[in-house]
Amino acid sequence: MPDFLGYPADIWLPFTFAALMGLSILIYVVLDGYDLGVGVLFVAADPDEKDRMVASIGPFWDANETWLVLAVGLLLVAFPVAHGIILTALYVPVALMLVGLILRGVSFEFRAKVRPEHKGAWNAAFFAGSLMTALSQGYMLGLYIMGLEETLWTVAFAGLTAICLTAGYAFIGACWLIYKTEEILQWKAVRWAKRLVVFVAAGFVALSLASPAVSPRIFEKWFSWPEMALLAPLPIAAAAIFAALLLTLRHLPAAGDRHALAPYVATVGLFVLCFAGLAYSFYPYVVPERMTIFEAASAPESLAIMLVGTLIVMPVIGAYSAFSYFVFRGKARELSYD
């Protein structure tokens, strides 16, 4: 296999696939995160508002989940050994997440087709599926940070992460509703966002402190010199975004619907910063402290063939997602299945 920029194939190909997998996960979190959050917020909405909330995510939710499928597929084909170790350790939360995703999909369709007296049950199922999925993903994240080891302490931290990530999804869902809705529901979304921002900040701080605390290697990467100075912009930028979020939410909804998209964009920025910090902390490990991406990678010949397919499929998924967001831009309309 040929070198690339002076790096041999067994170095640049695993790195490339790790980067593509990380990008897929990040896109999934910022896209499917808001529609999971909208589902979690179902519990606080009136029956008529639930239809408008579903209308705000209806054209996008299934395309958003495609990024999760892509990320797991890349893990399987590029790092098969790590795939087995990670999914074995996370078997129960992964199974619960899949049940939640199935329940969401079924509820999404059935709530539109059942008799009015049965609609409430499917609304509850949609909320339950969204909550189950969000909590499972948060628990998996927490356990991954803890090195995939189950002790009383690691399970407790994973539980805290599950709550904070669910709150983060609900927060970005509220920010999405601020952009996509009007009038009373938009006012409610602003109120929900103001209440949830505290949990988002708590989760951000918990992740920032836990990663270096569980690993001397990660601690050294963050708190040695000059790395400490070079990484200082990350927490400073996060603090600035939180301050801007609080200030913006205080003045929403604004006349002419000004700045309605700003909270969602700012929250995406927070998610990107958090993901960048985690990626820096754990690189080059794909299984924390046990296996690097280079040790877990498939043969360079196999990776080269799969890279061609990935570079075709990934832009197609991205183009489809971008097209759907362009076509269904603007405020969500009344939900209709005629």
Q: Is the pLDDT of residue 85 over 70?
A: yes
pLDDT for 210 equals 79
The pTM score is 0.92
Q: Are 193 and 175 in contact (CB under 8 A)?
A: yes
Structure tokens at 39: 């589902």
pLDDT for 20 equals 95
pLDDT for 285 equals 92
Nearest to 63 by CA among 334, 328, 336: 328
Across residues 233-257, what is the average pLDDT? Answer: 87
116-120, 134-138, 300-304: range with highest mean pLDDT: 134-138
Model confidence pLDDT, tens digit, residues 18-57: 999 999 999 999 999 999 999 999 988 888 888 889 989 9
Q: Residue 285: in which H helix or E strand, if any?
A: strand 285-287
pLDDT for 79 equals 94
Q: Hey, which residues does 7 pair with through a beta bridge?
A: 4
How distant, in Å, are the alpha carbons of 42, 61, 109, 163, 289 from that of 104? 12, 10, 9, 19, 35
Q: Are 110 and 142 in contact (CB under 8 A)?
A: no
Kindly give, in sequence order, each residue whose CB lies less than 8 Å from that of residue 264, ignoring residues fewer than 6 positions away. 34, 172, 175, 176, 178, 179
Q: Is the pLDDT of residue 338 over 70?
A: no
Mean pLDDT of the chain, nearest integer: 88
pLDDT for 2 equals 66
102-106, 197-201, 216-220: range with highest mean pLDDT: 102-106
Q: Within the chain, what is the greatest distance between any pair of CA atoms?
A: 66
Model confidence pLDDT, tens digit, residues 176-190: 999 999 888 999 999
Nearest to 292 by CA among 11, 7, 4: 11
Across residues 197-206, what is the average pLDDT? Answer: 84
Q: Is the pLDDT of residue 256 over 80?
A: no
pLDDT for 227 equals 81
CA distance 194 to 179: 15
Model confidence pLDDT, tens digit, residues 214-241: 778 888 888 888 888 888 888 899 889 9
Rounded to the nearest 10°, the torsion over CA 311, 314, 318, 319 is: 60
Say which residue, 99 or 215, is predicted with more confidence. 99
Kindly give, in sequence order, each residue whose CB lies less than 8 Å from that of residue 213, ignoring residues fewer than 6 positions away. 219
Model confidence pLDDT, tens digit, residues 1-23: 566 656 688 889 999 999 999 99
Burial class, 27, CB count within 10 angstroms (exposed 0-12 / middle 13-18 / buried 19+): buried
pLDDT for 45 equals 87
Across residues 295-311, what is the average pLDDT? Answer: 92
User: How many distinct helices (H) and strands (E) make up the chain?
Assistant: 14, 2
